[in-house]
């Protein structure tokens, strides 16, 4: 009995000691399940992040939520109550991130999401105070696409997207902004990520005869409609979203995706950015680090969202440390305040300028138009 | 919808339906012989296609490690069993199939450059890698439970499915692959283009179905399988090994699955988890046939393919809903028209 007490006491002491000495960052990523192609590079990125910031050791506790909303919530609860983390990074996808908001607000822990939808941080309220995100909003990317469409004289457009939150989100933004720009939408179709054929949808798109078609999918599944469109002889311009920006899309799409336009974070074409670009240095830093660990051409823009989350924390932690000790409620609040006051921080995807109402803080420097030329991403002015 | 679109959709539906039909046949076969509702059937589609894709990319397919691992596991289990039973004469056979076969396959992969081989050799190599996994899975997961209830077997089948999907992610990563078409030929019928691959799919399906028919009607092994399907105990009394029947049915299921995967890999992108949905649609077809009738199952699967194709044109957002809702009227109709016989379990 006495020994057991002693062990328990020692255990407690060591835990308390650890809580004071180290900063714990809880991470939940979708490294398996439907979003695995996004989650795996994110997970890989955490291994490249700094292990000490301002003299404090940083522990990253990484959990997999299998692209499942319930699992993401369970992970977040576990990270906050058991591991007593100072900040949560995650999750990879929008539904998971939305579900985590309640948990982090209750636990008064700042959270940085790596998912795209603007609903994660808008409209700002008492709960979303605690929530930040690093990927560009769909709306910003939709503006980039429709802007390019009107510039190149596209009058009619068609849309095909995933039949999930990603496709719906894009449809909402795209249809709204296209209408404002006087681009007529003549067809609107959905398909599933796991579909083996999209012939029906593609025939319907082609029979509407649009000048351009936007495909809203992510990763290699976004190649399927485009290949089908080419096979059925569609000659118009094809736009994709930034969700496709990984090397596997080029591998699977091959010749069929030549000439595709997409908006993307500058990191996708980091080496082609002019030296005057404020993001050249910060995005090259990530690309070089990732490729050194995983081989040339291996980096994807998704991992860069995780990297940016790490940069935000690395920038905010020294400020928060001046106010309180890690592991305390005060430290988490100070960290949140510090994140909100991030100014002119260049990341891999854009320059962060946070404010009370804007917990992303990107401007037009956070996207570029890219075309697939000769099987490679090419920066277009 | 004009005639041309209707024809294109029909062509697409029949191509997919042919694959679903093959899988439906495999499901009926496995269920009839072993009473296992073989959920992992679709996984063989993905494993076959992705093994071929990684051979073509010049990588070692992860399925090789699965083959080696399963072989070693069976060697240990069967080896101990043979020693306990004092049946040392069984050893050469155990070593041959569980250690030598995977070992030699691995050696071949190591020695030749698979990426430079002709397409046919790559296809054969993928089949050599994936097909033996069928009987191996039967040996490891189902043989010890051969007498268990249908429900227990179903639960084990779900577990095997989960394990294979997880391994698929580990071996091949989250992103999909496509393989080049068997032929680049395009045939024109009036205004309709039909690709060579479509012909390959249809011809291979018909050929495979015909071969299966001959196998069941004309060969001793085929007849043994049929006998086991009709009456397990009776078949055993006639000297048919139910273990052999089980392994053989799983071998055929794996062969059909892997070959289907290789057939459709040039048409669509295959992911580590694509197989499940394809298998499920084959399952709907098999249900139409009451998990018993081969021709009705094949027709049902064809119906699923066509329904899927036309509904993707009319209401793409509800395609899966329409396809899987088909199962409800079918079940109603079957339960009203067939006389239920209580199974003795």
pLDDT digits (tens, 9 = 90+) for B21-36: 999 999 999 998 998 9
Contact between B221 and B33 (Cβ < 8 Å): no
Rounded CA gap, A119 and A133, in Å?
11
Cβ contacts from A onto B, under 8 A: 97
Rounded CA gap, B106 and A253, in Å?
30
Rounded CA gap, B329 and A4, in Å?
64
Give the model's pLDDT for residue B175.
Answer: 83
Nearest in space to B139 (alpha carbons), one of B250, B235, B62, B42: B250
| List of chain B residues whose C-beta atoms are within 8 Å of the C-beta of residue A32 | 166, 169
pLDDT at A163 over 70: yes
Non-local (6+) Cβ contacts of A224 within 8 A are A191, A195, A198, A217, B268, B269
Nearest to B169 among A36, A189, A204 (CB): A36
Nearest to B312 among A39, A201, A221 (CB): A201
Contact between B31 and B294 (Cβ < 8 Å): no
Q: Which two tokens stand for residue B317?
A: 């957002």
Peptide bond between residue A116 and the one before it cis (omega within 30 degrees of 0): no
Q: What is the dihedral of CA B312, B316, B320, B324, to 10 degrees?
A: -60
Length of chain B: 345
| List of chain B residues whose C-beta atoms are within 8 Å of the C-beta of residue A36 | 169, 174
User: Is B269 in Cβ contact with A252 (below 8 Å)?
Assistant: yes
Mean pLDDT computed over A357-371: 91
pLDDT at A108 over 50: yes
pLDDT digits (tens, 9 = 90+) for B33-70: 998 999 999 999 999 999 999 999 888 899 999 999 99
pLDDT at A19 over 50: no
Q: Which two tokens stand for residue B324?
A: 């899987």
**How far away is chain A from the Cα of B90, in angstroms, using its nearest Cα?**
42
User: Is B267 in Cβ contact with A196 (below 8 Å)?
Assistant: yes
Interface of A with B in 106-145 (CB under 8 A): none
Categorize the per-residue pLDDT at A350 as very low, low, confident or very high, splitting at 50, 70 and 90.
Answer: very high
Give the model's pLDDT for residue B173.
Answer: 86
pLDDT at A17 over 70: no
Phi then psi dihedrals of residue B76, to 5 deg: -65, -50
Sequence-separated contacts (24+) of B197-203 with Cβ below 8 Å: B197/B266, B197/B267, B198/B11, B198/B15, B198/B267, B200/B263, B201/B15, B201/B18, B201/B19, B201/B263, B201/B264, B201/B267, B202/B14, B202/B15, B202/B18
Mean pLDDT computed over A33-38: 83
Q: What is the CATH number of domain A2-136+291-365?
A: 3.40.50.2300
pLDDT digits (tens, 9 = 90+) for A262-272: 999 999 999 99
| List of chain A residues whose C-beta atoms are within 8 Å of the C-beta of residue B271 | 194, 220-221
pLDDT digits (tens, 9 = 90+) for B235-285: 989 888 989 999 999 999 999 999 999 999 988 889 998 899 999 999 999
Lowest-confidence region among A8-12, A19-23, B215-219, B273-277: A8-12
Give the model's pLDDT for residue B3.
Answer: 82
Q: How far is CA A166 from CA A70, A137, A215, A377, B73, in A?
A: 18, 12, 11, 23, 43
Mean pLDDT computed over A290-302: 89
Give the model's pLDDT for residue A8.
Answer: 54
Mean pLDDT computed over A3-32: 66
Chain centre distance of CA A79: 21
Rounded CA gap, B341 and A48, in Å?
63
Mean pLDDT computed over A104-125: 91
pLDDT at A155 over 90: yes
pLDDT at A197 over 60: yes
User: Is B312 in Cβ contact with A252 (below 8 Å)?
Assistant: no
pLDDT at A370 over 70: yes
Residue A196: helix, strand or coil by DSSP?
coil
| DSSP state at residue A359 | S
Categorize the per-residue pLDDT at B122 as very low, low, confident or very high, splitting at 50, 70 and 90.
Answer: very high
Phi then psi dihedrals of residue B117, to 5 deg: -70, 160
Categorize the per-residue pLDDT at A183 as very low, low, confident or very high, splitting at 50, 70 and 90.
Answer: very high
Give the model's pLDDT for residue B183.
Answer: 78
Nearest in space to B253 (alpha carbons), one of B20, B25, B46, B17: B25
Give kind and range of the element (H or E) at residue A58.
strand A56-64
Lowest-confidence region among A17-21, A125-129, A198-202, A249-253: A17-21
- The radius of gyration of chain A from alpha carbons, rounded to an integer in Å, stands at 22
Give the model's pLDDT for residue B343.
Answer: 52
Q: What is the CATH number of domain A139-264?
A: 3.40.50.2300
Contact between A152 and A237 (Cβ < 8 Å): yes
Mean pLDDT computed over A30-55: 89
* Interface contact A163, partner B, CB < 8 A: yes
Nearest in space to A335 (alpha carbons), one of A345, A347, A323: A323
Categorize the per-residue pLDDT at A193 as very low, low, confident or very high, splitting at 50, 70 and 90.
Answer: confident
Give the model's pLDDT for residue B345.
Answer: 44
Give the model's pLDDT for residue A18.
Answer: 45
Which ranges in chain A are annotated with CATH 3.40.50.2300?
2-136+291-365, 139-264
Categorize the per-residue pLDDT at B340 as very low, low, confident or very high, splitting at 50, 70 and 90.
Answer: low
Mean pLDDT computed over A351-374: 92
In this structure, how many other beta carbons lie within 10 angstroms of the beta carbon of residue B331? 13
Domains of chain B: 3-58+113-337 (1.10.3470)
User: At which residue do the structure tokens 């510090």 appear?
Assistant: A338
Q: Which two tokens stand for residue B86?
A: 């004092």
Give the model's pLDDT for residue A5.
Answer: 53
What residues are paired with A352 via a beta bridge? Answer: A345
> How high is the mean pLDDT of chain B?
89
pLDDT digits (tens, 9 = 90+) for B295-334: 889 999 999 999 999 998 888 878 888 888 888 888 888 8
Mean pLDDT computed over A261-286: 92
């Amino acid at each position: 009995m006495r020994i057991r007490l002693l062990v328990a006491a020692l255990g407690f002491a060591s835990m308390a000691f650890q809580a004071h000495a180290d900063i714990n960052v809880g991470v939940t990523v979708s490294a398996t399940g439907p979003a695995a192609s996004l989650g795996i590079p994110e997970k890989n990125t955490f291994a490249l992040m700094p292990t000490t910031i301002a003299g404090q050791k940083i522990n990253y506790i990484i959990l997999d939520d299998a692209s499942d909303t319930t699992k993401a919530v369970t992970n977040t609860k576990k990270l906050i109550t058991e591991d007593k983390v100072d900040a949560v990074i995650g999750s990879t996808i929008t539904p998971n991130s939305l579900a985590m908001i309640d948990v982090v607000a209750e636990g008064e822990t700042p959270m940085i999401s790596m998912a795209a939808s603007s609903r994660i941080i808008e409209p700002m309220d008492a709960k979303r105070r605690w929530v930040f995100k690093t990927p560009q909003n769909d709306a910003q990317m939709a503006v980039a696409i429709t802007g390019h469409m009107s510039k190149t004289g596209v009058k009619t457009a068609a849309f095909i997207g995933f039949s999930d939150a990603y496709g719906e989100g894009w449809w909402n933004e795209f249809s709204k902004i296209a209408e404002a720009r006087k681009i007529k939408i003549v067809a609107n179709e959905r398909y599933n990520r796991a579909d083996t054929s999209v012939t029906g949808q593609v025939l319907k798109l082609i029979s509407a005869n649009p000048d351009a078609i936007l495909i809203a999918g992510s990763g290699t599944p976004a190649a399927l409609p485009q290949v089908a469109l080419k096979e059925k002889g569609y000659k118009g311009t094809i736009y994709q979203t930034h969700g496709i920006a990984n090397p596997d899309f080029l591998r699977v799409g091959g010749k069929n995706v030549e000439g595709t336009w997409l908006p993307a974070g500058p990191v996708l074409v980091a080496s082609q950015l002019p030296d005057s670009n404020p993001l050249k240095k910060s995005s090259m830093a990530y690309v070089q680090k990732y490729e050194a660990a995983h081989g040339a051409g291996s980096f994807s823009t998704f991992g860069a969202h995780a990297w940016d989350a790490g940069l935000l924390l690395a920038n905010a932690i020294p400020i928060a440390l001046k106010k309180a000790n890690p592991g305390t409620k005060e430290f988490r609040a100070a960290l949140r305040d510090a994140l909100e006051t991030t100014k002119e921080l260049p990341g891999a995807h854009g320059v962060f300028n946070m404010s009370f109402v804007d917990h992303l803080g990107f401007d037009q420097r956070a996207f570029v138009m890219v075309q697939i030329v000769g099987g490679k991403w090419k920066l277009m002015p | 919808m004009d005639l041309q679109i209707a024809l294109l959709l029909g062509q697409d539906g029949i191509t997919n339906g042919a694959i679903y039909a093959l899988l439906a046949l495999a499901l009926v076969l496995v269920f009839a012989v072993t009473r296992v509702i073989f959920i992992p059937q679709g996984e063989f589609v993905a494993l076959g296609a992705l093994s071929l894709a990684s051979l073509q990319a010049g990588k070692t397919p992860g399925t090789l490690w699965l083959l080696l691992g399963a072989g070693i596991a069976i060697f240990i289990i069967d080896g101990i069993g043979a020693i306990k039973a004092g049946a040392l004469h069984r050893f050469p056979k155990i070593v041959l199939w569980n250690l030598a076969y995977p070992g030699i396959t691995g050696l071949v992969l190591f020695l030749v450059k698979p990426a430079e081989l002709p397409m046919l050799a790559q296809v054969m190599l993928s089949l050599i890698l994936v097909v033996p996994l069928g009987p191996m899975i039967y040996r490891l997961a189902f043989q010890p439970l051969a007498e268990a209830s249908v429900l227990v077997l179903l639960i084990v089948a779900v577990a095997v499915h989960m394990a294979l999907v997880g391994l698929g992610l580990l071996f091949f990563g989250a992103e999909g692959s496509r393989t080049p078409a068997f032929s680049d030929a395009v045939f024109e019928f009036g205004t309709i283009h039909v690709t060579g691959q479509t012909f390959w799919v249809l011809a291979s399906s018909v050929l495979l179905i015909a071969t299966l028919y001959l196998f069941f009607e004309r060969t001793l092994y085929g007849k043994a399988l049929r006998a086991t399907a009709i009456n397990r105990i009776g078949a055993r009394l006639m000297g048919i090994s139910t273990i052999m029947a089980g392994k053989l049915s799983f071998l055929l299921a794996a062969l059909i699955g892997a070959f289907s995967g290789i057939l459709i890999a040039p048409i669509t992108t295959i992911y580590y988890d694509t197989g499940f949905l394809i298998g499920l649609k084959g399952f709907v077809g098999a249900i139409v046939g009451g998990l018993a009738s081969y021709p009705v199952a094949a027709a049902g699967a064809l119906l699923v393919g066509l329904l899927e194709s036309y509904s993707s044109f009319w209401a793409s957002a509800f395609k899966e809903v329409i396809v899987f809702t088909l199962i409800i009227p079918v079940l109603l109709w079957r339960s009203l028209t067939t006389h239920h016989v209580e199974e003795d379990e």
